[in-house]
Chain A
Amino acid sequence: MSDTPTAELSDAEALARARAGDKEAFGILYQRYVQRIYSYIYYRVGHPQEAEDLTARVFYRTMQHIHRYEDRGLPFSAYLYRIAHNLVANWHRDQSRRKEIALDDTAWNPPAANGPLPEHRLIHAEEEAQLLNAIRRLPPDRQELLILKFVERLSNAEIGQILGRSEGAIKSLYHRTLIALRAELTAQNASQD
């Protein structure tokens, strides 16, 4: 094994060490990706506490299965997003089983909406909440696509790697997603008028 200081390891090197049981190397991977995974999960579930719980579970699960990780030429982040995607899907399934969730809990909680806001920011916050709620009504694969594209700033090719689809399929799904989003927003505006 090389003597490269742990913090300077590339993902591939850190992964190789983590697979051999090096917790420090796994810690490096955790530090590199925790914020991205948290952000992704936060937008999929809309609750900071649930997002924290699921983020922790993503890394515990990754740690448990890291020795079985196979390098198939995909970035390590694709593996983490896959685990996060599965856990979020399970979470949504559990939530739909538990029908006692209050309606207020299903609305989106924008990250920084504390305290009184000036009027222009209030309007912007309302528009933002409308948009986020419209996104949440889209099918899960479309929500995921928008989050990966706009929050994580990934390219269509990278998103394709994570979702297991071709770049062309992602491009086409993206266009259909925008059409569906526009329809959702129009419906929301119509119901408010």
Chain B
Amino acid sequence: MPLWGQRLPDEEIASLEAQLRASLTPVEARDDFVEAIQERLQTARPLYVPVSRTWRQSWLIFSALSGSLLLLTAVTTLLFMRRGKAAS
């Protein structure tokens, strides 16, 4: 049955609202659950890692990696040049 455009009489609205008010009452969580989660939240890892720290860490990793790569390239080039000279 299409419901679009239907209207409920005021007394039906009032009766439904009364039923909803009586049935939909707040439900309380168990105290031990609430306390356990509170404790776990207090002992969890830090809430916030400063952005500057994460940037600094990323920069250090990037520098170390690119430095190693540069060193490796330099050593390889040097070895090739030495071998070339020895061959000639």
Contacts and interface: CB of A to CB of B under 8 A. Distances in A.
A38 B29 contact: yes
A60 B44 CA distance: 9
Given A146-B20, A178-B13, A183-B3, A39 B26 contact: yes
Contacts of B30: 48, 52
Contacts of B46: 21
Q: Could you say which interface size class chain A belongs to? A: 35 or more
A128 B23 contact: yes
A181 to B, nearest CB: 6
Given A66-B48, A127-B19, A151 B26 contact: yes
Interface stretch (B34-42, B71-79, B80-88): B34-42
A35 B29 contact: yes
Q: Is the interface of A mostly helix, strand, loop or mixed?
A: helix
Interface string B1-31: 1010011100011001101111111111110
Interface string A148-177: 011110000000000000000000000110
Q: Could you say which interface size class chain B belongs to? A: 20 to 34
A178 B20 CA distance: 10
Contact of A30 (B8, B22, B37): B37
Q: Please indicate which of the listed interface residues B21, B25, B44, B47 has the most CB atoms of chain A within 10 Å of its own CB.
A: B47
A179 interface: yes
B34 A34 contact: yes
Interface string A43-79: 1000010011001100110010011000000000000
Interface of B: 1, 3, 6-8, 12-13, 16-17, 19-30, 33-34, 37-38, 40-42, 44, 46-48
Interface of A: 18-24, 26-27, 30-31, 34-36, 38-39, 42-43, 48, 51-52, 55-56, 59-60, 63, 66-67, 111, 127-128, 131-132, 135, 146-147, 149-152, 175-176, 178-183
